[in-house]
Chain A
Amino acid sequence: MTTLLNYLRATQLSSIVLITSLGLLSPLTHANVTPDPTTKWQQTLDQGAGDTVYWHAWGGDVRTNDFITWVGEQTEILYDVKVQQVKLSSTSEAVTQVLAEKAAGQDTDGAVDMIWINGANFLAMKQQQLLHGPFVADLPNAKYLDLSPNSPATVDFTEAVAGLEVPWRLARFVFIVDSKRVTKAPLSMVQMLTWAKANPGRLTHPVVSNFMGTTFLKQALIELTPDASLLQQPATEQSFITATAPLWRWYDAIKPHLWRAGKNFPENESIQQQMLSDGVIDIAMAFDPAAAAAGIASGLLPTSARILVPSQGSLGNVSFVAIPYNASHKAAAKLVANFLLQPETQAHMQNINVLGSFSVLDSTQFNNTQALAFADLPKSEALPTLTDLGPTLLEPHASWSVKLKQQWSQRYSQ
């Protein structure tokens, strides 16, 4: 089986293998589950068949778009469920759509079946009760997840997932550098300041209204603040002032040495990576350890692009999919979510030639074939291993991002 997998992967036909292997696996999977949920799951299978899932997902990344197309091809064969990606330029567009439907009293037959979501958008939908569920535990493939309390799959930016969203890919904050130009890379925010002074105009971060800009500030905050555990609590007026004082001192010092003297910023991380590619700056940022390898593979970054992880570790979070409360095709969306948790799907996703995003599954639950599928994945110089990545720093409570954004604008927007 494994050799066949390798052969077919080499000949770009891995999807066919997956279909066959999943086709064989899924009846077994169902048989493993206790009888009652099976009947319930059988109902989901019956209800979902023949439907099309409108998956609202940020559409700026061609490889992700291609992966979603592939998912749709597989689910059509497996479950008779088609996937139509609605390509967003910002996830909040999907949130606003559901909110507009709620405002108009349209509580069924909504346009959004599934959203790629996390963090602030999830919090907003959860608070406004715009999500369907809890449903995660109903999925047969949930057994591959570590759902113990406070595990990464159960907490989204300190907010309890509460079974309302299914994890599907891991995100880690990393720096991308051009190794040809940067020989001695800064490995902490303190070193970053020294580096920026020595290389004026060669460093910048995305605008702070963009989540990547906020993430950069949060990473700096965690490294510089005296007591990082405070960030796990909601921010108060007082705790915010004490915790962020060193951050602002650091930022005041680094700002004049930023690109365009810190008066203008790239609109998002993709523009920032383009600037790295154009030679305008030397350090870019991403929320994906595979960003450098993926960028090289798609010609967007020079072959000398490498990933850099802060020595203390970096912020990490999980990308989820959620189903709105008024979705038209809830059952079909659950089938797609379940497919995303299939170990073979996750191995395919982790393949650097596909997405290169790390799996969200608990590898201790794998059987041998599944474990081998991961072990056999192709390697790339630009792709760090999990050990290279070091420790994952926890996302601060969402209130910190809001306050950071406000405070930054007040200080630095004229």
Chain B
Amino acid sequence: MLFNHWPKWLILIALGMIILLPVVVGLGEAMRAAFGILPALGRHSLSIDAWQQLLQLPGLISSLRLTLFSGFAATIIALLLAVFGSSWVYNKSSKRSFLGSLKPLAQPIIVPILAAPHAAIAIGLAFLIAPSGWIARWFSPWLTAWNLPPDWATVQDLWGLSLTLGLVIKELPFLWLICLVALKQIDVTKQISLAQSMGYSHSAAWRKVIVPQLYPLIRLPVMVVLVYALSTVDMAQILGPNNPPTLALVTMRLYNDANVNMLLPASAAAISLALLMVMSILLWEVCVRGLMLINNVSIRSGGRISKWTLLTATLTTALPMSIMLGLLSLLVLAIWSITWRWSFPEAWPTSWSYGYWLALLTEWPLALKHSLMTALISSGLALTLAVIWLEVQDRFGGHFYRATLWLIYLPLLVPQIAFLYGLKVSFLRLGLNGSIGTVIWAHLLFVFPYVMLSLVDSWRALDQRYLSVASSLGPSSWTCFWRIKLSLLLRPLMIAWAIGMAVSISQYLPTLLIGAGRVESLTTEAVSLASGADRRLVGVYGLLQALVPLLAYSFALMLPRWVALKNMK
């Protein structure tokens, strides 16, 4: 039994070595430091001082409240909007309206937001909604009578509402795309028209028939969004309050403290953050199960009309608003990138400059080269690994699929700061330092789960009968694999690859820590420049950072169409 299944074990061990081991080793180092052992600082004995130091930090409860509120609120809202957006795409009756005519554009419109780095969206949004921001400038001073901006908390509010908004804007396109890909596996049109023929309204049919089938398919992506929202550093730094900030930022501040002894409480904070993720995921799952039970009761009641008109109306407004704010954030960054000066309350820049774009011509080739190399290689490797892993499971049975799934996603479910520092030390011990190869490996940890995440459900949902029919016609199993399976899955494969590219391009901490600062990338440049708060530069780098994934997404969306056209001829 064990012998027969050797390819399965082989790939499992390989994945364990590549993906699992670094996280475990990194977490182990953090755990040791959290309990007082850090030989480089001459600390050799077990103690819980670091935990006491952490617990004594003023404002820790506020940090926790802020983190949980913004993380959960953002995930719930983004998920609601994504599901609602998907139902709208499939809703035939709304086609006549103006919004309905935009339907074919929905996907291309969200791609720029999907491709843009989190920090770029955050900086653009902050400028948009601040009292001194673009929207205020449109109406000042002629309407508002403001010659100077008022002291209002529209960004960095103490409750984290602007942070939540930023997270929703950024995560919605990702979840929406994931939903649309997953829905390809459910025969939505047929099921909805069947339900409608039985008298269910479109929204009732959607909630009672489609959503219960959809959620299991998108469960993991939702978890990933939840974890991201709870542990983001860059968005929290720009949009969140900072006295006290979110837990992830507290951890980051401790790690960055000039007093190196703070590395001990920093490690304790990192471990707590990891624990918080585990508990949040459990809490989320319990809530979802509860909601599903309630929904089941409602399904059995047989009500045909959805009574949630208020929610529907809110979502109908919120969805285009969210996407519009995202696009405006990027637009305003683009404007900033060619600005020289732009003072309040001018609605447009007062003087322009292309200087930063020109200056970049001499500076960015190396950063661009590194970014492209790591992104292409890590996403290529990740896609290959994912295909091998899935194919091996298909051929040798996927009994332990569920058990291993969580292991693959471990790097996404543990906050990066929790294990990257420890991983760096471990890499150094092995003599792996600052080379682009190590950086690619570190990227792979995050790229591979995302690639799997976007691929696995489409792969599993592929109708096996195509393959049975094909193989009954005689070709070898390899030919079937190449000619039938991969070409049927071309679209999800390409989208998975593009997501992998985007994930790799946006990695900051892995590039900086594992690359020892020697592998400069678009993102490391952008983040270090962002600390200087020059919106024009952030605009240039943010757009450049978005451009690479944008090209990848466009390619991913175009290629299957092009192939299909070619095959038709």
Residues of A within 8 A of B (CB): 54, 56, 58-62, 84, 86-97, 99-106, 111-112, 119-121, 123-124, 128, 181, 200-201, 207, 209, 211, 259-260, 263-265, 267-268, 270-271, 273-275, 277-280, 298-300, 302, 402, 409-410, 412-414
Residue B285 at the A interface, CB < 8 A?
A: no
Of A61, A92, A274, A409, the residue contacting B58 (CB under 8 A) is A409
Indicate if the CB atoms of B425 and A104 lie closer than 8 Å. yes
Q: Which of A56, A300, A410 has the most CB of B within 10 A?
A: A300
Residue-wise interface mask of B (156-185) relative to A, using a CB-CB cutoff of 8 A (1 in contact, 0 not): 101000000000000000000000000000
Contact A413 B153 (CB under 8 A): no
- Please give, as numbers and ranges, the residues of chain B lying within 8 Å of A273 by CB-CB distance: 533
B158 touches A268 (CB 8 A): no
Given contacts A103-B39, A299-B351, A409-B57, contact A95 B258 (CB under 8 A): yes
Question: Contacting A60 at CB < 8 Å: which of B59, B255, B429, B528?
Answer: B528
CB distance from A261 to the nearest CB of B (A): 8
User: Which residue from chain A places its CB closest to the CB of B367 in the assembled complex?
Assistant: A87
Given contacts A59-B528, A88-B517, A270-B533, contact A100 B57 (CB under 8 A): no
Once bound together, how far apart are the Cα atoms of A60 and B531, in whole Å?
5
- Interface of B: prevailing SS: loop
- Nearest B residue to A95, CB-CB: B260
Q: Give the Cβ gap from B472 to chain A, nearest Cβ, in Å.
A: 57
Q: List the B side residues contacting A84 at CB < 8 Å.
A: 518
Among residues of A, the one whose C-beta sits closest to the C-beta of B353 is A299
A280 to B343, CA, bound (A): 11
**Residues 399-441 of B contacting A (Cβ, < 8 Å):** 421, 424-426, 428-429, 431, 433-434
Neighbouring B residues of A119 by C-beta, 8 Å:
258
Is the Cβ of A259 less than 8 Å from the Cβ of B151? yes
CB-CB under 8 A from A279, the residues of chain B are: 132, 147-149, 343-345
Cβ A299 vs Cβ B158 within 8 A: no
In this assembly, does B381 line the interface, its C-beta being within 8 Å of a C-beta of chain A?
no
Binds A, one of B5-13, B212-220, B235-243, B483-491: B235-243
Q: Which chain B residues lie closer than 8 Å to A181 at the CB level? A: 148
In the complex, what residue of chain A is closest to B434 when comparing beta carbons?
A: A111
Bound Cα distance A413, B62 (Å) = 9
Q: Are B532 and A99 in contact (CB under 8 A)?
A: no
State whether the Cβ of B244 lies closer than 8 Å to any Cβ in chain A: yes
Q: Which residues of B contact A86 (CB under 8 A)?
A: 517-518, 520
Q: Tell whether B310 is near chain A: CB-to-CB under 8 Å.
A: no
Report the Cα distance A22→B130, complex, angstroms: 50
In the complex, the chain A residue whose C-beta lies closest to that of B362 is A69
B259 contacts A by Cβ under 8 Å: yes
Proximity bits, B253-283, A CB within 8 Å = 1, else 0: 1011111100100000000000000000000
Of the A-B pairs whose beta carbons lie under 8 Å apart in the complex, a sample of 21, sorted by A's number, is A62-B537, A87-B528, A92-B256, A99-B40, A103-B425, A104-B429, A105-B429, A106-B433, A112-B517, A120-B259, A128-B40, A128-B260, A207-B243, A264-B156, A268-B533, A270-B534, A278-B344, A280-B151, A299-B536, A413-B58, A413-B243
Contact present for B527 and A89 (CB under 8 Å): yes
Whether a CB of chain A sits under 8 angstroms from the CB of B516 is: yes
A17 to B243, CA, bound (A): 50
| A154 CB to nearest chain B CB (Å) | 21
Q: Which residues of A contact B148 (CB under 8 A)?
A: 181, 279-280
Q: Any chain A CB within 8 A of the CB of B525?
A: yes
Chain A CB within 8 A of B512 CB: yes
Contacts of A274 in B (CB 8 A): 533, 535
Which A residues lie within 8 Å of B85 (CB)?
A: none
Assembled-state Cα–Cα distance A271/B538 (Å): 13
A39 to B389, CA, bound (A): 63
Q: A105-B429, A280-B132, A414-B59 are in contact. Are A100 and B258 (CB under 8 A)?
A: no
Establish whether residues A59 and B132, one from each chain, have CB atoms under 8 Å apart when the complex forms: no
- The 8 A-B residue pairs with the shortest CB-CB distance, nearest first, are A60-B532, A120-B258, A104-B428, A59-B528, A103-B40, A413-B59, A201-B151, A270-B533
Cα distance A93–B266 in the bound complex, in angstroms? 14
**B294 contacts the other chain (CB 8 A):** no
Contact between A88 and B242 (Cβ–Cβ < 8 Å)? no
A300: B residues at CB distance < 8 A: 534
Of the listed residues B148, B258, B534, the one surrounded by the most CB atoms of chain A closer than 10 A to its CB is B258
**Chain B positions 302 through 335: 1 when the CB is less than 8 Å from some CB of chain A, otherwise 0:** 0000000000000000000000000000000000
B359 → A minimal CB distance (Å): 8
**12 more A-B contacts (CB under 8 A) besides A104-B426, A299-B351?**
A58-B531, A60-B529, A60-B533, A88-B528, A100-B425, A103-B38, A112-B517, A201-B151, A264-B241, A279-B147, A299-B340, A412-B243
Q: Which residue of B lies closest to A402 (CB)?
A: B259
Q: CA separation between A95 and B263, bound complex, in Å?
A: 11
Query: Are B40's CB and A87's CB within 8 A?
Result: no
Let me know if A267 and B237 touch, CB within 8 A.
yes
Q: Which residue from B259, B429, B517 sits with its C-beta under 8 Å from A54?
A: B517
Pick the residue among B244, B259, B512, B527 that contacts A413 (CB under 8 A).
Answer: B244
Interface membership of B41, Cβ < 8 A: yes
Residues of chain A with a CB closer than 8 A to B341's CB: 299, 302
A98 vs chain B, min Cβ distance (A): 9
Query: B40 touches which one: A102, A120, A268, A298 (CB < 8 A)?
Result: A102
Chain A residues near B130 (CB-CB < 8 A): 278, 280
Residues from chain A with a CB closer than 8 A to the CB of B353 are 299
Residues of chain B contacted by A121 (CB below 8 angstroms): 258
From A96, A263, A268, A278, B243 is in contact (CB under 8 Å) with A263
CB–CB B260/A99 < 8 A = yes
Contacting pair B40 A56 (CB below 8 A): no
Kindly list chain A residues whose C-beta atoms are within 8 Å of the C-beta of B158. Answer: 263-264
Shortest distance in angstroms between A320's beta carbon and chain B's nearest beta carbon? 14
Contacts of B534 in A (CB 8 A): 62, 270, 298, 300
Minimum CB distance partner of B61 in chain A:
A414
Please measure, in the bound complex, the distance between the C-alpha atom of A94 and the C-alpha atom of B343, giving whole angstroms.
36
B531 touching A270 by the CB < 8 A rule?
A: yes
Closest-CB distance, A213 to chain B (whole angstroms): 10
Q: Which residues of B contact A90 (CB under 8 A)?
A: 256, 531
